Amino acid sequence: MEIKFKKTLRLIFVLTVLFSVTFIQAQPHGKQGPRPIPDSKSVTAMVDNLSQELALTKKQKKKVSDLYTNHFDLLREKIGNDNNSRPKREVMEQMQEDFETEVKSVLTEDQQKQFDTYMKKQKLQRGGKGKPRQ
């Protein structure tokens, strides 16, 4: 009788653990939905970081800062106040590609290569999905 009780207890324990693990894995992890569009303070920090990585001149830094500001202003304009009505992925990817091309136009050849590496690294750190840019 005692052996059946122990087996039953073990079975209940195993089933409890299995259901707990399944339930925990089914829960969403972290924030869901799109990231917020950076504000001017965030843009300044991003450009400062990029400036250090690429050794931008003051003139380049100013132009890149303007490009970042204009890019995020355009995003805000396209999205409006409703964060759930974002443009389609293809539109967003094209905007990103155009933005990166504009930034590269301000950079030297060496800085362009460093910029590509920097952007890939940033995407990986953010847990970016999709194919890496060429």
93 within a domain of the structure (yes/no): yes
62 within a domain of the structure (yes/no): yes
* Containing structural domain, residue 63: 40-125
pTM recorded for the entire structure: 0.67
- How far, in Å, CA of 94 to CA of 75, rounded? 12
Residues in contact with 64: Cβ distance below 8 Å, sequence separation at least 6, in sequence order: 47, 50, 51, 56, 103, 106
7-64 per-position pLDDT tens digit:
787 778 777 776 666 655 555 656 566 778 889 999 999 999 999 999 999 999 999 9
86 within a domain of the structure (yes/no): yes
27 within a domain of the structure (yes/no): no
- How far, in Å, CA of 44 to CA of 99, rounded? 17
Tally the domains of the chain.
1
1 within a domain of the structure (yes/no): no
Compute how many other C-beta atoms are within 10 angstroms of the C-beta atom of residue 133.
12
119 within a domain of the structure (yes/no): yes
